[in-house]
Amino acid sequence: MLRTRLTQYAFALALSWIAATGAAEGRQEKKAEDKGGPQLQQIRPIDEDAPAKGNRRARTPLDVEAKLLDADPVDPRHNQPCKVYTVKLAKGVTYTIDMTSDDFDTYLRLEDEQGKQLAEDDDNGGELNAQIVFVPERDGSFKIIATRYDDGTGAFHLRVKELRYNNLPEKALAVERDGLKVEGQLSADDPMDAVGPKHTYKAYSIRMVKGRTYTIDMDSDDFDTYLRLMDGRFKELDRNDDRGDDDLNSRIKFTPTADGVYHIVATSFDGGSGAFTLNVREGRPDADDR
């Protein structure tokens, strides 16, 4: 009889503890909701892959869908209604910040914790979408101001993602004495570049030597070429659309400040496809090539 009463007492205590824990968690969640508010939001990372050698999935520190309203707080710098988000970013990592909408012309601003503007953009994300490519100089929290260029309201998608190119060759190409020549084909089956102008691309890794000047040419008779050059961590160093006023081929001249592997993105300006030639050589182009 005594054993039965003790068992019933222990069971009752367990139920009381579970009920109290649930109530406390509910109060904490409600308190967090009341404190957060709709304008300033802190979003935890949704992709927490540990760093790994070689190719890996890119981290996405922020991914949110929301609506911009005329009644939202006004951005004091751009003088348009906005929503503000905070996000934690890591030093030296290249991130793309994209704001897309089918309802209005998006506009992005990026600030540090002290409110200093670090970047802004209107249409670099393709069409009327905004994109900022950013490499933090330190670990920390940053403020993203999601707004519009002039007028319009509606739904938008804001996404911050680590920039990676997982389809790069395992071995970097070397530029020999007579240069490097690659014949390629750009097609609709190629991956889409995450950075504007956001068209299909081919990517190449090139080993370069500090202090030497390299000329990178992309030529095609089929489409308007576009070149981008990045360092080993995908920070953009240069880009080019047209080599000249009447020349739709692309050229980048670059002198590395450090030995290392650099990445070339060969793409198109307007989404075209077809055959192309990529040439990389040391030294500046000849006068008749300009």
Domain identity same for 144 and 254: no
Domain identity same for 184 and 280: yes
DSSP three-state, residue 126? coil
Domain contains 113: yes
- Residue by residue, DSSP assigns 70-87 as TTSPBPTTT-SB-EEEEE
Give the separation between CA 14 and CA 286, rounded to whole angstroms. Answer: 84
What's the domain range around 196?
Answer: 173-284
Residue 225 burial class via C-beta count within 10 angstroms: exposed 0-12, middle 13-18, buried 19 and up:
buried
Last residue of a domain, one of 116, 134, 162: 162
- Order of strands across the sheet with 201-208? 173-174, 201-208, 260-268, 225-230, 236-240
Q: How confident is the model at residue 132 (pLDDT cuts 50, 70, 90)?
A: very high
Give the separation between CA 244 and CA 137, rounded to whole angstroms. Answer: 34
pLDDT in tens, 268-284: 999 999 999 999 999 86
Q: What percent of the chain has pLDDT over 70?
A: 78
Domain identity same for 47 and 158: yes
Backbone angles phi, psi at 13, to 5 degrees: -60, -40
Instruction: Please say whether the beta carbons of 85 and 141 come within 8 A.
Output: no
Domain contains 1: no
Q: Which of the residue ranges 8-17, 25-34, 72-81, 138-147 would you say has the lowest mean pLDDT? A: 25-34
Backbone angles phi, psi at 117, to 5 degrees: -75, 130
Domain contains 184: yes
CATH number of the domain that residue 140 is part of: 2.60.120.380
Domain contains 210: yes
Domain identity same for 158 and 189: no
DSSP three-state, residue 13? helix
**Region 71-96 average pLDDT:** 97
**Count of domains in the chain?**
2
Domain identity same for 101 and 184: no
Last residue of a domain, one of 127, 162, 197: 162
30 has a pLDDT exceeding 90 = no
173 has a pLDDT exceeding 60 = yes
How many helices (H) and strands (E) in the chain? 1, 18
Domain identity same for 180 and 280: yes
Domain contains 33: no
Domain identity same for 93 and 146: yes
Beta strands 40-42; 83-89: pairing state = parallel
Domain contains 208: yes
The tokens 């990676």 sit on which residue? 164
Task: Indicate the DSSP class of residue 128.
Answer: T
What is the chain's mean pLDDT, rounded? Answer: 84
Domain contains 7: no
Domain identity same for 129 and 65: yes
Domain identity same for 146 and 222: no
Domain identity same for 141 and 184: no
Q: How confident is the model at residue 170 (pLDDT cuts 50, 70, 90)?
A: confident
Q: What is the pLDDT of residue 167?
A: 81
Domain contains 18: no
Domain identity same for 155 and 49: yes
Domain identity same for 137 and 215: no
